[in-house]
Amino acid sequence: MKKAEATRLTILQKAFELIYVKGYQTTSIDDILATTQVTKGAFYYHFKNKDEMGLAIIHEILKPTMTESFITPLQNPGDPLEFIYGMMHHLLMNNPFLKPEFGCPASNITQEMTPWNADFGSAMNELIEQWEDTLVEVLEKGKAAGFVRKDVHSKQVTIMVMSGYWGVRNLGKLDQGKESYSLYLKELKNYLDSLK
Amino acid sequence: MKKAEATRLTILQKAFELIYVKGYQTTSIDDILATTQVTKGAFYYHFKNKDEMGLAIIHEILKPTMTESFITPLQNPGDPLEFIYGMMHHLLMNNPFLKPEFGCPASNITQEMTPWNADFGSAMNELIEQWEDTLVEVLEKGKAAGFVRKDVHSKQVTIMVMSGYWGVRNLGKLDQGKESYSLYLKELKNYLDSLK
DNA sequence: TCAAAAACATACTAATTAGTATGTTTTATT
DNA sequence: AATAAAACATACTAATTAGTATGTTTTTGA
């Protein structure tokens, strides 16, 4: 990788972590410069302004990460209900990057930015629609393969699952540990069983 | 009401609306002064600093509002599953104050403030525990009265319902209207039916 | 009614912010 | 090696921020 490209990527990655922890608006350019050891001249060489960097983070960091977490594992066949539960369990209990006290990066950005920046809104909408479409698709396949009842409404279930995940990621901020996560996962299992 | 008390209440109410729309950190004292027509001297007479005002909003505005919305209606007997569905439907579809693009005030504050201000965290935790306890209680009564299956785990269901609500309030920010709300409510109905 | 306290008003400060102006250094191309 | 462009560095600016200092007005209780 070229050196300049490495600088740009460092900024995006470190800024993403800072924003995950502190929020977008309260992460200052100077914060980013301090943790990356990049100077202001270099920063503004790579990005026109802060928002351009923010959108680049969504497209170049968040989107690939979510594709890797949600879309790619989906290529496997088998019971989609098992698959969905396993994905949620892994995300909530095993993912080493995501901390209960800081929630879900995508959820955080949506909550903070969407009402006031249409570009952030449509960028996040793309991500979420990709996730949504993938879940609907896998549920439909599951219906065809007999894993899921035929009268199940895949999109409704998808919204239920995504909402639950984002919600518990936020509820969990009020815990000390992962109690809410555990309770949520147990009930998610019951719910998914009811779709068989 | 005394005039000074009225000033204080105006600040809390208008600041609450501003924070709901703009977020806590990005709502400036000057914003609040401009919309309330209160001067800085008056503001700092009533509140030691911004955070004291924020906590007062939680305790004196948010908490009573939530009690009125979630706790009081709960005194009625009858089917708790019907009751929960009705409450969610009303909150999502009919509440005139809450707008899809701005989400849920309690959820917003939790997401923004909890990781960085322990006082906000424990204040919000109080609210949520109150809501949680109420839902658990009503579900237990429902089990006793035969409305809910005996093997249902009330706290798990409660976490599922609260997470779903907070999550769909955030998902809904990406919609133009209330599509996600409608889909969520339909599936919530299916889910609650599975607890009968 | 009249002083003391409560309530409010105005002008300021110091820190932080995103962004710019104007450089110097590094890299790539001939 | 020479040169132009790319990449980075430093010093600044103007706006905004929470909070303070120092007043004036209004209310209250003896």
- pLDDT digits over A138-176, tens only? 999 999 999 999 999 999 999 999 999 999 999 999 998
User: Is residue B102 within 8 Å of B20, Cβ to Cβ?
Assistant: yes
Cβ of A111 and B108 within 8 Å? yes
Q: What is the pLDDT of residues A56-111, one digit of tens each?
A: 999 999 999 999 888 877 777 789 999 999 999 999 999 999 999 999 999 999 99
Q: Is the minimum distance from the CB of B33 to strand D below 7 Å?
A: no
Fold of A1-47: Arc Repressor Mutant, subunit A (1.10.10)
Mean pLDDT of B155-167: 98
Q: What is the pLDDT of residues B131-143, one digit of tens each?
A: 999 999 999 999 9
Q: In the complex, which nucleotide's C1' lies nearest to the CA atom of residue A51?
A: C18
The CATH class given to the B49-193 domain equals: mainly alpha
Given this model, what pLDDT does residue B1 score?
Answer: 61
Instruction: Please tell me the distance from the alpha carbon of residue B15 to that of residue B120, in angstroms, as a whole number.
Output: 16
Q: Is the ipTM of this complex over 0.90?
A: yes
- Chain B nearest CA to A1, separation (Å): 35
Q: How many CB atoms lie within 10 A of CB B40?
A: 11
Q: What is the pLDDT of residues B46-55, one digit of tens each?
A: 999 999 999 9
Confidence of residue A1 (pLDDT cuts 50, 70, 90): low
Given this model, what pLDDT does residue A83 score?
Answer: 94
User: Which A residues, 138 through 157, put their C-beta within 8 Å of a C-beta on chain B?
Assistant: 153, 155-157
Provide CB contacts within 8 A for B129, sequence distance 6+. Answer: none
User: Is residue A108 within 8 Å of B111, Cβ to Cβ?
Assistant: yes
Tokens of A108: 């955080």
| Among the listed residues B153, B114, B166, the one whose alpha carbon sits nearest the alpha carbon of residue A164 | B166
Provide CB contacts within 8 A for A128, sequence distance 6+. Answer: A106, A110, A162, B171, B174
* CB-based contact, A165 to chain B, within 8 Å: yes
Q: CA of A5 and C1' of D30: distance in angstroms?
A: 78
CATH of domain A52-193: 1.10.357.10
User: Which chain B residues are closer than 8 Å to A104 by Cβ?
Assistant: none
Cβ of B160 and A22 within 8 Å? no
Instruction: Please tell me the distance from the alpha carbon of residue B79 to that of residue A158, in angstroms, as a whole number.
Output: 27
- Chain A nearest CA to B95, separation (Å): 19
Given this model, what pLDDT does residue A97 score?
Answer: 96
Please give the C-alpha separations between residue A89 and each of A56, A66, A183, in angstroms, as whole numbers: 29, 16, 11
Instruction: Please tell me the distance from the alpha carbon of residue A112 to that of residue B102, in angstroms, as a whole number.
Output: 9
Give percent above pLDDT 90 in chain A.
Answer: 91
Mean pLDDT of A115-129: 96
Q: CA of B31 and C1' of C12: distance in angstroms?
A: 19
Q: Is the minimum distance from the CB of A34 to strand D below 7 Å?
A: no
Segments making up each domain of chain B, as ranges: 1-47, 49-193
- Chain B nearest CA to A168, separation (Å): 5
Per-residue pLDDT for A130 more than 80?
yes
CB-nearest to B186 from A108, A156, A163 is A156
3-state secondary structure B93-141: HHCCCCCHHHCCHHHHHHHHHCCCCHHHHHHHHHHHHHHHHHHHHHHHH
Q: CA of B81 and C1' of D15: distance in angstroms?
A: 53
Of how many residues is chain A composed? Answer: 196
Q: What is the pLDDT of residues B47-89, one digit of tens each?
A: 999 999 999 999 999 999 999 888 877 777 789 999 999 999 9
Given this model, what pLDDT does residue A102 score?
Answer: 97
